[in-house]
């Protein structure tokens, strides 16, 4: 019974985590703009292309397809890193995470797409070769090319639209005064300073009733002779 209850509680936690992840993903997707959604779709396509056939190897006896993970090199690793990084960036933007990137999100996405395009271009001339086997390009690599071009155009479009990023509180050291219930800022007035004996600097009624020429009347201090 204890093992069954433990398995049930573990399954409930996993289900709750999955529901929370799906809810957060849907809410983040709704907050994205059109250009950001295009970049997200292109990143998902780029990631999915690694599971598709990139190369077609043909021998006199048989032929076989090789996907991106089967021919995994530095190029495929970089493509995977760019796709996952852009998806994480867009998910954070959908949740209004306050952080800024050098050049903005559009620049980062466009540069990532251009980098992937260059890597895929070099991969065409660096195919996995085997003796007695002819290796050609398959449609999965072409789909990755299309996704990289879509990332470039989505990043350029994001720079053109210039969608404002969430404000970064760490970048604004100046603190504004808090607003009251009516909406006007609250200005704190310091309390009057008191002397050590408990008296204040305010004149008494007796001092105010003195004539103006009385030296004991509070006002400007009398100048000492010799100054």
156: in domain: yes
Q: Report how far residue 25's alpha carbon sits from residue 23's, in angstroms, rounded to the nearest whole number.
A: 5
Give 174 or 113, the one with higher predicted confidence.
113
- pLDDT tens, residue by residue, 7-21: 668 778 888 888 898
141: in domain: yes
pLDDT of amino acid 57: 86
pLDDT of amino acid 85: 96
* Averaged confidence pLDDT in the chain: 80
Give 221 or 164, the one with higher predicted confidence.
164
51: in domain: yes
192: in domain: no
24: in domain: no
What is the domain extent for residue 116? Answer: 33-165
185 with 178: CB under 8 angstroms?
yes
Nearby residues of 130 by Cβ (< 8 Å), 6 or more positions away = 57
Q: How many domains are contained in the chain?
A: 1
The mean pLDDT of 92-115, rounded to a whole number, is 90
| 16, 29, 144, 162 from 110: Cα distances, Å | 36, 20, 15, 14
84: in domain: yes
Instruction: Give the domain CATH number at 127.
Output: 1.20.140
82 with 112: CB under 8 angstroms?
yes
- Is 174's pLDDT higher than 50? no
18: in domain: no
């Amino acid at each position: 019974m204890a093992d069954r209850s433990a398995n049930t509680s573990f399954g409930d936690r996993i289900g709750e985590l999955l529901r929370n992840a799906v809810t957060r993903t849907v809410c983040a997707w709704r907050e994205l703009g059109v250009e950001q959604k295009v970049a997200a779709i292109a990143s998902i396509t780029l990631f999915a292309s690694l599971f598709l056939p990139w190369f077609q190897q043909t021998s006199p006896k048989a032929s076989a397809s090789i996907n991106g993970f089967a021919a995994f090199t530095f190029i495929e690793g970089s493509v995977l890193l760019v796709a996952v990084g852009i998806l994480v960036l867009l998910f954070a933007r959908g949740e209004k995470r306050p952080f800024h990137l050098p050049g903005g999100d559009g620049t980062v996405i466009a540069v990532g797409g251009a980098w992937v395009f260059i890597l895929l271009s070099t991969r065409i001339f660096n195919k996995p070769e085997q003796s007695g086997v002819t290796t050609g390009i398959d449609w999965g690599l072409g789909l990755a090319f299309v996704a990289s071009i879509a990332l470039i155009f989505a990043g350029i479009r994001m720079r053109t639209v210039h969608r404002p990023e969430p404000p970064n509180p760490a970048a604004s050291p100046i603190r504004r005064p808090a607003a009251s219930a009516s909406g006007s800022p609250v200005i704190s007035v310091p309390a009057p300073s008191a002397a050590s004996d408990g008296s204040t600097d305010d004149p008494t009624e007796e001092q105010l009733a003195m004539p103006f020429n009385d030296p004991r009347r509070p006002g400007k201090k009398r100048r000492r002779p010799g100054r």
